[in-house]
Amino acid sequence: MPDPMRSYLDFEKPVAELDSKIDELRALAASGSDISEEISSIEEKAAQALKDLYANLTPWQKTQVARHPQRPHFSDFVKGLITEFTPLAGDRKFGEDEALIGGFGRFRGESICVIGQEKGATTESRLKHNFGMARPEGYRKAVRLMDMADRFDIPVLSLVDSAGAYPGIGAEERGQAEAIARSTDACLSLGVANIAVIIGEGGSGGAIAIATANRVLMLEHAIYSVISPEAASSILWRDGSKAQEAATNMKITAQDLLRFGVIDTILKEPRGGAHRDPAATVALAGDAIADALNDLRTLDRDSLRKQRRQKFLEIGRKLG
């Protein structure tokens, strides 16, 4: 049954109309009308329309899906995958940043350090987490947690979902660029396995600061880019309305990035996107994370560093 609280994207209008028709027929059926065959027929049409639609998404449509408000966020993945999660707060220099959450817990019985951006699901939580845009203290907190994980030989999992690091005046005054650079360096220096999963938006340095990992996984309809399509459009053409063209030219989709060697694996999403079945998405991501950790289990500390650095040095040198 369609979720009455579900929000539809603009390009999903044909599916929304079919779902609305199904709801109307179900209301009639509840009053005693025998129209089960008609309902089944329209349900099949709706399912096929959704499948066809998502099989041929443009980069701009994928951008919209990646930003969908009902897409599973950091907290959903932690709740579904991590037991005994204990968040740690503060960078020990300035303060706490609630856009970037980090802590320790257990993944399938094994200790793990988890770091990631939380966008929030309600107006209140979005404001609390600053829409997933971390300030310098967030990245310095990430460095602190990675150092701790390295010291105790605990692998690191990064869940990336941010439009970018927060560009406010205060953030810049407190050294945003330096904090991002040190976080990136901390990732590269880890002597333990680290896995990054792009679960929604992977925006600019705010993403790479915690995604410089041995394995970079990416959900099928997520995006990963140096700048947002809207910002690129404004810079290149001084016209924000060309965001769709920018999205196409920037090669921000999982399919393009796999071909360029920027990511290692694409995680297939449920039909109609992760927001239509968050639980299935989280479960699938959990299996992929487990596989990636198992692949890296035999590497020693120096080999993990070497593999990670070589992976990023090779980006752009080879085309798949």
Predicted model pTM: 0.90
**Percent of all residues in the chain with a pLDDT value above 70, rounded to a whole number:** 92
Which of 153-167, 171-185, 214-228, 237-251 has the lowest average pLDDT? 237-251
Split at pLDDT 50, 70, 90, the class of 76 is very high
Which of 5-14, 141-150, 236-245 has the lowest average pLDDT? 5-14
Distances (CA, A) of 80 to 24, 73, 76, 84, 278: 34, 11, 6, 12, 10
pLDDT at 33 over 90: no
Closest CA to 145 of 178, 109, 108, 100: 100
pLDDT at 53 over 90: no
Alpha-helical runs (H) found in the chain: 13-30, 36-55, 59-66, 74-81, 123-128, 136-151, 169-173, 176-189, 204-211, 229-237, 243-250, 254-260, 278-296, 301-313
Is the separation of the CB atoms in 190 and 150 below 8 Å?
yes
Tokens of 310: 């070589």
pLDDT, position 5: 60
pLDDT at 36 over 90: no
Split at pLDDT 50, 70, 90, the class of 34 is low
Structural fold of domain 63-314: 2-enoyl-CoA Hydratase; Chain A, domain 1 (3.90.226)
Q: Where are the domains of the chain?
A: 23-56, 63-314
pLDDT, average across residues 239-252: 88
> How many CA atoms lie less than 13 Å away from 261 in the CB half-sphere?
12
Average predicted confidence (pLDDT) for the chain = 90
pLDDT, position 185: 96
**In angstroms, rounded to a whole number, what is the distance separating the alpha carbons of residues 312 and 238?**
32
